[in-house]
Amino acid sequence: LRRNPGEVEFHQAVREVFDSLGPVLRKHPMYTEAAVLARVCEPERQVIFRVPWVDDAGQVQINRGFRVEFNSALGPFKGGLRFHPSVYLGIVKFLGFEQVFKNSLSGLPIGGGKGGSDFDPRGRSDGEVMRFCQSFMTELYRHIGEHTDVPAGDTGVGRREIGYLFGQYKRITNRYESGVLTGKGISWGGSLVRTEATGFGAVLFAERMLETRREALDGRRVVVSGSGNVATYAIAKARDLGGQVVACSDSSGYVVDEAGIDVELLRQVKEVERGRVGDYAARRPGARLVEDGSIWDVPADVALPCATQNELDEPAAKQLVANGVVAVAEGANMPTTPAAVELLQAAGVLFGPGKAANAGGVATSALEMQQNASRDSWTFEYTEERLAQTMAGIHDRCVETADEYGSPGDYVLGANIAGFTKVADAMLALGVI
Ligand code: NDP
């Protein structure tokens, strides 16, 4: 705490992992002897930089840029960039720390990192977003590379931003290095399924959790928070599997649509028009917008928090349990507070933590890197099959590890221990570095 003052989200993420590690440290004292815990929460490198740019009114704007290269024991640093006004070092470090274990758990050869800026793309013109991205990359390019550090998107960073960032990287370095960024457009080095992967993966994870109790999503009521990249494709996949998604949200409120969220209309409003969920409600007969209150008040069998950190707190968890929720799978990173996780698990709810349930995005980014390295592009069906296999593997690894360490059904413990041991073993093998 003294080394990282004020970084509350980072402290929360570290505590949540360390709370699971007691049994593994007792079984394997070498991790303690080699100070693996102290090493694993100290990033290998952190870069903080000024991002100056000129807005449409001709005013100079200054934002702060970050890249935290957390751990490269398993492969190049890998993790997204977040553009949101709430971004500061504590958020980037929490996301980077989570990413290390998530990437390890995915079974793919990638290390963990994260970055971003306190720049807010909402309400900015395309030209402003481009100038910002070009300035951001003018510093970031020194630190990244296909064998070094491979950023991707996250909140506020979608295909448009990745395009501007990649364009500037290409221009500065004079290299068409496709593998330096993931989340690219299909015609310029991207992978099919990457856009859908995190949301699809979270739903596949929820379905596999339900299968352990001989249940399924088919016919279930589903509530999804958010309406961005992860939420949109979680809604689409839940619908494909027979779920009825009755609500989604953004920071202006939530929309209830008992007929089932119309994904095509949602995409038109959010992706094309960059509108709000209220615009969806206004155009969809029978849908209603709720501006005050919690989306978790809407009765659901399956809840998928896909918006932001700490959005599902203890009162929300109580309400979900009272309404009979069966499963919660985290599409977002750390959306459920520790007290809410405890409450849900104590009530017997299947709970899939983000580092397992939302790993489909980064796993498909790793598939994008494979395609770039071999200058190939795979079909949608083949890539989706690889995603499904990866999610099944992650699920089963959580279950087996939880069994092995005496806590059957505890996906949090299973994910943390399985993610930790792989990266810790690699760190031991590489010596004190
Ligand atoms: P987007 O920017 O595409 O969407 C974020 C969505 O969450 C928006 O609808 C946003 O609404 C909403 N939101 C943000 N804050 C709040 C809030 N306080 N209350 C209600 N809604 C809110 O981001 P992504 O979908 O990419 O990311 C969502 C989460 O998933 C993040 O935690 C991210 O780290 C995680 N994640 C993303 C991955 C990816 O592949 N994209 C991979 C793994 C995890 P508004 O527009 O009003 O701000």
For 132, counting Cβ atoms within 10 Å of its Cβ (0-12 exposed, 13-18 middle, 19+ buried), the class is buried
pLDDT at 1: 72
Instruction: Compute the radius of gyration of the chain from its Cα atoms.
Output: 21
Which stretches of the chain score pLDDT less than 70?
none
How far is Cα 376 from Cα 189, in angstroms, rounded to an integer? 9
How far is Cα 337 from Cα 331, in angstroms, rounded to an integer? 14
User: Ligand 1: which of 198, 230, 232 to mutate, most ligand atoms within 8 Å of CB?
Assistant: 230
pLDDT at 244: 98
**Cα-to-centroid distance, 305 and ligand 1 (Å):** 9
Quote the strand ranges of 17-132, DSSP E.
45-54, 60-71, 77-83, 112-117
Which residues' Cβ are closer than 6 Å to ligand 1?
A: 153-156, 198, 226-231, 249-252, 306-308, 311, 331-333, 358, 361
Neighbours of 291 (CB within 10 A): 9
Annotated active-site residue 114? The verdict is yes
How far is Cα 247 from Cα 389, in angstroms, rounded to an integer? 29
Residue bearing the CA closest to ligand 1, atom 36: 332
**Cα-to-centroid distance, 227 and ligand 1 (Å):** 7
pLDDT at 433: 84
- Residues 160, 114, 399, CA angle at the centre, nearest 5°? 110
| Contacts of 264 by beta carbon, 8 Å cutoff, 6+ apart | none
CB 300 within 8 A of CB 222: yes
How far is Cα 49 from Cα 396, in angstroms, rounded to an integer? 41
pLDDT at 323: 98
CB 348 within 8 A of CB 61: no
pLDDT at 125: 97
**Cα-to-centroid distance, 44 and ligand 1 (Å):** 27
> Which residues are paired to 327 by β-bridges?
302, 350
